[in-house]
Structure 1
């Protein structure tokens, strides 16, 4: 599936696959839902695919050097 990563605002990064999307908060860190929260808060197409999606985010040159942080959501 094709995906798009874009900075939707100064404080968020949008990850999109077709109509499914999720906005990650970004500041000094890119805030990522914890493993135990991922499937509960993600759109259905993203459930069970945390590692794959995080790899895609990490590979985006605009995010290189940005630390990721697991957060409670």
Structure 2
């Protein structure tokens, strides 16, 4: 499923990034690596998400959130 389809409170495992190379590099630098544990903290009015990643909170726009494939944490 796509990260943008998740709701606040969902705990997820990042499976794959489907973004441009430059965007992928930045996301990897922020810690968005396959296997990372994420939690959706809040949803913005225009489709963006606030995502918890470790001790950090990262705001993602809707397009980027739609390009991150996730599964429920502990699904594997």
Structure having the higher helix fraction is: 1
TM-based fold match above 0.5: no
Question: How does the TM-score come out when normalised to structure 2?
Answer: 0.30
Q: Which TM-score applies when normalising by structure 1?
A: 0.30
